[in-house]
Amino acid sequence: MLGLLLLAFSNANIFLLPSTNSINPRATLKSCCVILGARPLAGRQNIADFGINFLGFHHLYINIFERSSQFALIEGGYVGENMPYNTISWALEKQNDWEHQGYQWLLNSNRCQELISCLRKKTYIYNRAHVSYHFLYGPNSNSFIWWVLNACGIDIKPQYRHFPFTGIDYFQRHKAWESNFPLLANLSIQ
């Protein structure tokens, strides 16, 4: 329940969905929707992963559902094996994939198709911007989720600086990020 208290939303009606390990989008959803989710990090590669897992940090993701044969998972990560340093971010739409773990919030929007189109376009652009990656401070996968939702008109605000969504506030904390990632800055984040 901790994660429920740590995000604030505006510009959308938000509903908490029951999170179970058996959500099948084709069986439970009937109309277009966008779902923001947060699952515990699952890394087991090094001591940093152990510490992050122990502290309860979460990875943000987006599920999109248009119809029973068209759904996808949007999330970010890092390229390479030298994490946490000297890596770049990736952001992908994974067709016919669906994350069911952790907390999930339904981003109820009367412009669902428009929102999904925007999320796809911005994800594609972010992936090609070669944004650097830092697992703890950002930019990282949570920074990407914040950026893509805000770029598409869904305003999410972390209640605390990092916990449990490490890096979510990267683009808010670093006002000079526009000079480092001009491709993203030109997309007029709202």
150-183 tens-digit pLDDT: 889 888 766 555 567 888 888 777 766 565 565 5
Between the CA of residue 132 and those of 34, 59, 88, 90, 158, what are the distances in Å? 27, 17, 4, 9, 21
Contact 148, 83 (CB under 8 A): no
121-149 as b/e, with b when 16 or more CB fall inside 10 Å?
A: ebbebbbebebbbbbeebbbbbbbbbbbb
Q: Residue 21 — very low, low, confident or very high, per pLDDT cuts 50/70/90?
A: very low
Strand 33-40 and strand 58-67: the pairing is antiparallel
Query: Which amino acid makes up residue 149?
Result: L
- Outline where the chain has alpha helix (H): 25-28, 47-55, 112-128, 141-151, 170-173, 177-180, 182-185
- Say whether pTM exceeds 0.85: no
Between the CA of residue 2 and those of 5, 159, 160, what are the distances in Å? 6, 11, 12
Residue pLDDT, tens place only, 78-130: 877 665 566 888 999 999 899 888 888 888 678 899 999 999 999 999 998 88
User: What are the residues facing 103 on neighbouring strands?
Assistant: 38
User: What are the residues facing 58 on neighbouring strands?
Assistant: 40
